[in-house]
């Protein structure tokens, strides 16, 4: 990768990224990732493809496209897994790159009625086959 890229896992797409998530689709201006930690079945991240940190850094047209990507991904998660609610999180305190966590919540499931933990303890990891199944379900729902 070019050394001109910022030291950002979303821009460099290096081991730091693949340790946390799996790319499942390219959207209009962002990339949809399946988060490896799956306490909340179907949890994903929508990451803007350019390197910005804040929503207000985007031109109005880009902001609209990014939010369309977020909504499209959330709709696909709802279709694929039927959660009762999807929580949205855009923090970037320690990782300055615009991205949105999409966290499906299920009645009587983990953190129902409260804020989700970014990295819950214990963490729930799946088999490669299970990740593939979740990714395929989301990709089908995106189509």
> Both tokens of residue 21?
């998530």
Residue 1 lies in a domain: no
Per-residue pLDDT of the chain (143 residues; tens, 9 = 90+): 445 678 999 999 999 999 999 999 999 999 999 999 999 999 999 999 999 999 999 999 999 999 999 999 999 999 999 999 999 999 888 889 999 999 999 999 999 999 998 888 889 999 999 999 999 999 999 99
Residue 4 lies in a domain: no
> Both tokens of residue 47?
């990451």
pTM, 2 dp: 0.93
Residue 85 lies in a domain: yes
Number of folded domains that form the chain? 1
Tokens 């696909």, located at residue: 76
How far is Cα 33 from Cα 73, in angstroms, rounded to an integer?
Answer: 10
Residue span of the structural domain in which 57 resides: 9-142
Residue 2 lies in a domain: no
Start-to-end CA span in the chain (Å): 31
Residue 3 lies in a domain: no
Residue 54 lies in a domain: yes
Residue 101 lies in a domain: yes
Q: What CATH number corresponds to the domain at position 22? A: 3.30.428.10
Residue 78 lies in a domain: yes
Spatial contact of 65 and 52, defined as CB atoms under 8 Å apart = no
């Amino acid at each position: 990768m070019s050394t001109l890229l910022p030291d950002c896992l979303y821009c460099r797409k290096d081991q730091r990224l693949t340790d946390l998530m799996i790319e499942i689709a390219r959207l209009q201006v962002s990339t949809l990732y399946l988060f490896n930690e799956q306490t909340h079945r179907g949890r994903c991240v929508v990451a803007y493809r350019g390197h910005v940190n804040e929503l207000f850094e985007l031109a109005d047209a880009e902001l609209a496209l990014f939010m369309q990507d977020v909504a499209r991904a959330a709709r696909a998660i709802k279709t694929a897994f039927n959660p009762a609610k999807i929580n949205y999180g855009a923090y970037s305190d320690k990782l300055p790159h615009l991205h949105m966590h999409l966290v499906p919540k299920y009645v009587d499931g983990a953190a129902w009625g409260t804020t989700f933990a970014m990295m819950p303890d214990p963490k729930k990891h799946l088999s490669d086959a299970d990740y593939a199944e979740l990714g395929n379900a989301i990709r089908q729902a995106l189509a």
